[in-house]
Amino acid sequence: MKTAPELALRQLTMQFIGNATTLLRCGPFTLLTDPNFLHRGQRAYLGNGLTSRRLTEPALRADELPQLDAVVLSHLHGDHWDRVARAKLDRGLPIVTTPHGARRLQGWHRFRHAVGLRTWESHTFVKDGALLRVTSMPGRHAPGPARRLLPPVMGSLLEFGPATGDVQFRLYITGDTLMFDGIQQIARRNRDIDLAILHLGGTKLPGGLIVTMDAAQGADLLETIRPASAVPVHYDDYTVFSSSLDDFRRELDRRGLAGDVTYVDRGETHTFTHATGTHFTG
């Protein structure tokens, strides 16, 4: 029989703030992902002289956030870590990110507890008898030589459970990745993912280069990872996005996968529950 703390760790609540920014609660842990609090009309800096204008308002302001245990940051790009986050977040807050991101955060931004993980490395938090393990997953932000133009990116596997016991809930956050052979590696190593948060949008850079999953790649990832459920983010907040949420819906309908995805609007909150034996069967 599951204890009350174990049962609490079998549920994860996600509030969608906008772009790739979510507020996650599981057991005693409260986490923020990819903090982006720019307002509509403001520009995010993407590096190499590129910017993108925000088209939406975030559902929360940075000063409305609850007490956080950590930030999970897929990479250091202006639509995932912006000047508002840099100014407003507590500099003592743990931030789990790539080695590239951690070096920049510790140096220029003075976030002294930024932790850089190489692919497959983990960092563990323990609180009130519960454990959270964050493991860096493979990610690829651009094809071929174009990768040198963009910051390194990681996906993240978040595993929640009692400090002495089995994992009760597994969450995979894709980060800004394309489909590539690393996604198959994730699938082979992790067969029981309860929820996948998909960074979509088909982000298009000058010259037509696509650097995040479009609708078809998002559906490909679902068929590869086979999570129990999935929720799309990162699809309509900036002018660089070329693949809409409607594109994704149509692709899922075409493949017969529509029932495997939950849509959470900006500002809405949804609770996902671990359910043994109900993982993706498409």
What does the pLDDT read at residue 149? 76
Backbone angles phi, psi at 213, to 5 degrees: -60, 135
Distance of alpha carbon 255 from its chain centroid, rounded?
A: 24
pLDDT at 100 over 60: yes
Instruction: Output the CA angle 75-141-86, nearest 5 degrees.
Output: 20
3-state secondary structure (DSSP) of residue 253: helix
What does the pLDDT read at residue 103? 96
pLDDT at 282 over 70: no
Burial bucket for residue 11 (CB in 10 Å: 0-12, 13-18, 19+): middle
Backbone angles phi, psi at 237, to 5 degrees: -85, -20
- Count of residues for the chain? 282
Residues 6 or more apart whose CB falls under 8 angstroms from that of 182 comprise 119, 137, 138, 139, 140
Indicate the pLDDT class of residue 1, thresholds 50, 70 and 90: low
Say how far apart CA 145 and CA 229 lie, in whole Å. Answer: 34
Indicate the pLDDT class of residue 277, thresholds 50, 70 and 90: very low
Average pLDDT (140-158) is 88
pLDDT at 281 over 70: no
pLDDT at 182 over 60: yes
Residue 256 forms beta bridges with which residues? none
pLDDT tens sequence across 202-223: 999 888 899 999 999 999 999 9
Average pLDDT (228-235) is 97
Structure pTM?
Answer: 0.95
SS (H, E, C) 76-120: CCCCCCCHHHHHHCCCCCCEEECHHHHHHHHHCCCCCCEEECCCC
CA distances from 23 to 89, 146, 185, 218, 227 (A): 14, 31, 27, 22, 20
Domains and CATH numbers, the chain: 4-198 (3.60.15.10)
Residue labelled with tokens 């323990």: 126
Closest to 170 measured CA to CA, from 10, 5, 1: 10
Residue labelled with tokens 């990610």: 139
Burial bucket for residue 206 (CB in 10 Å: 0-12, 13-18, 19+): exposed
* Per-chain mean pLDDT for the chain: 93
Residue 25 forms beta bridges with which residues? 13, 30
pLDDT at 280 over 50: no
pLDDT at 260 over 70: yes
Q: What ranges in 170-256 are assigned the alpha helix state H?
A: 181-189, 215-225, 245-255
3-state secondary structure (DSSP) of residue 234: coil
For residues 149 and 175, the model is more confident at 175
pLDDT tens sequence across 132-145: 999 999 999 988 77
What does the pLDDT read at residue 3? 66
Say how far apart CA 177 and CA 174 lie, in whole Å. Answer: 6
What does the pLDDT read at residue 143? 84
pLDDT tens sequence across 38-64: 999 999 998 778 899 999 999 999 999
